[in-house]
Amino acid sequence: MNMTIDNKVFAANNIMLIMAALTADATGKAPTTFFTRLGLAPLVDMYVQQGLLLKNEQELSFNTNFSQGQLQVNGQVISL
């Protein structure tokens, strides 16, 4: 994860401005077999159906971005 805070937007005397000043990007991936061996396949499948995880034959992945108070997961805007 890479995260930055825009000092021009953030003010220490108003902590609520952090949401507008924060930018974060994160990506992740893991082998599907890891979750299957832990018995988490049904949970993983639920997240895949919701679009929070991407699944191919052997790997799960995600890509997130938070910018200007808006969260995107795999290109989908998520309400906060």
Q: What is the pLDDT of residues 38-58, one digit of tens each?
A: 999 999 999 999 999 999 989
Beta bridge partner(s), residue 67: 23, 70
The pTM assigned to this predicted structure is 0.77
Q: Higher pLDDT residue, 12 or 23?
A: 23
> Could you count the other beta carbons within 10 Å of the beta carbon of residue 55?
15
- pLDDT, residue 25, reads 96
Q: What is the mean pLDDT of the chain?
A: 91
Question: How confident is the model at residue 19, as a pLDDT?
Answer: 82
30: β partners: 60
